[in-house]
A and B are shown apart, each in its own frame.
Chain A
Amino acid sequence: MVHWTADEKQLITSLWGKVNVEECGSEALARLLIVYPWTQRFFSTFGNLSNAEAILHNPHVHAHGKKVLTSFGEAVKNLDHIKQTFATLSKLHCEKLHVDPENFKLLGNVLIIVLASHFTKEFTPACQAAWQKLVSAVAHALALGYH
């Protein structure tokens, strides 16, 4: 179980309260596909991903990004039970989606950059540290079900 200090929990939940899940989620997924183009292999049914503009305006990317970040929100609501929260999704990513868990780290770091660009000065080093710990914990939990 991840140990959170009271400050870390506060930094995470207070920032999350201001996150526009649809906007940040779609942007995070779009950035993942743009910055790490090999991740596009998991989204072959999404249509046009041929360049950054296409990706940024792709409705499938938009919808799926929102879905991914909404799911991420479950971690924020269950900071003390992250492994259990993502147990089913972990199985799914391994058995059905065949995603290399290394990619979870990439998405985590992309999300950090999205938060940094949206919240700017409010995204202090302490805030970043708490959120990096969270994205790491989620990535870890998603990798646990792999066999």
Chain B
Amino acid sequence: MLNHDEKQLIKHAWEKVLGHQEDFGAEALERMFAVYPQTKTYFPHFDLHHDSEQIRHHGKKVVTALGDAVRHMDNLSEALSELSNLHAYNLRVDPVNFKASAGQGRGEFPGVRDQPPPFPSLPGVRAVPGAAGSGLPGAEGWSAADTVRFALQLLSHCFQVVLAVHLADEYTPQVHVAYDKFLAAVSAVLAEKYR
């Protein structure tokens, strides 16, 4: 999927990330929470204030994992296997939450604020190990895999914004397409254990 040139571009640009994993990770998460407030529902137990210890810690974990993925681009499935299990079996998401904030029908984009508040049954979320989610009431076709894949797309976009902010004109269109493809591949692997 990624050709040789794209892999080189990704590795080269990643050198600018090294040493800044915590900063970049925290910023990506913060941007995601600011732009897509519905993603906060994945972190009900976190202190989500600017620069919180939890956001910095989690941001560092996310970007460190991405660094592993950069080093193993030829074998993402194996390299991310543990994380894939973690996201599939430990991430507890009620797809109904996502339906409320995904909007109804054509034209409602999740980027638009003024969405209904998070579904009040958050404490009642359940683990969905490998379930397709089709039996869940109110899910209307959103499976657990869909919700995670969708949320990861939002994080991928925000991470690319962080790269653009910090690499500026070095985040060329060629680097941009390489990272867009790479992050899409990572997201797909992380969501693959859902069904």
Chain B CB within 8 A of A120 CB: yes
A146 to B169, CA, bound (A): 37
**Interface locus among B10-18, B108-116, B122-130, B133-141:** B108-116
Chain B CB within 8 A of A15 CB: no
Size bin of chain B's contact surface: 20 to 34
Q: What are 29 sample pairs from A and B whose C-beta atoms fall under 8 A apart?
A: A31-B173, A34-B173, A35-B176, A35-B180, A52-B174, A101-B106, A101-B107, A108-B111, A113-B160, A113-B161, A116-B161, A116-B164, A117-B164, A117-B165, A117-B168, A118-B168, A120-B165, A120-B166, A120-B168, A125-B31, A128-B31, A128-B161, A129-B31, A129-B34, A132-B35, A133-B113, A136-B112, A140-B107, A143-B107
Chain B CB within 8 A of A18 CB: no
Chain A CB within 8 A of B80 CB: no
Report the minimum CB–CB distance from A41 to chain B (whole Å): 17
Chain A CB within 8 A of B30 CB: yes
Report the minimum CB–CB distance from B184 to chain A (whole Å): 11
B174 to chain A: which residues have CB within 8 Å?
A: 34, 52
A35 to B183, CA, bound (A): 13
Chain A CB within 8 A of B157 CB: yes
Residue of A nearest to B179 (CB): A35
Residue of B nearest to A110 (CB): B176
Report the minimum CB–CB distance from B81 to chain A (whole Å): 28
B171 to chain A: which residues have CB within 8 Å?
A: 113, 117
B180 to chain A: which residues have CB within 8 Å?
A: 35
**A121 B165 Cβ-Cβ under 8 A:** yes
A116 to B28, CA, bound (A): 13
Chain B CB within 8 A of A19 CB: no
**Chain A binding site: helix, strand, loop or mixed by DSSP?**
helix
Size bin of chain A's contact surface: 35 or more
**B168 A125 Cβ-Cβ under 8 A:** no
A31 to B157, CA, bound (A): 14
A35 to B156, CA, bound (A): 14
Binary contact readout B4-41 vs A (1 if CB under 8 angstroms, 0 otherwise): 00000000000000000000000100110011000000
Q: A120-B166, A143-B107 are in contact. List 17 more A-B contacts (CB 8 A).
A: A27-B173, A35-B173, A101-B106, A112-B161, A113-B160, A113-B164, A116-B165, A125-B27, A125-B34, A129-B35, A132-B35, A132-B111, A136-B111, A136-B112, A139-B109, A140-B109, A146-B106
Residue of B nearest to A121 (CB): B165
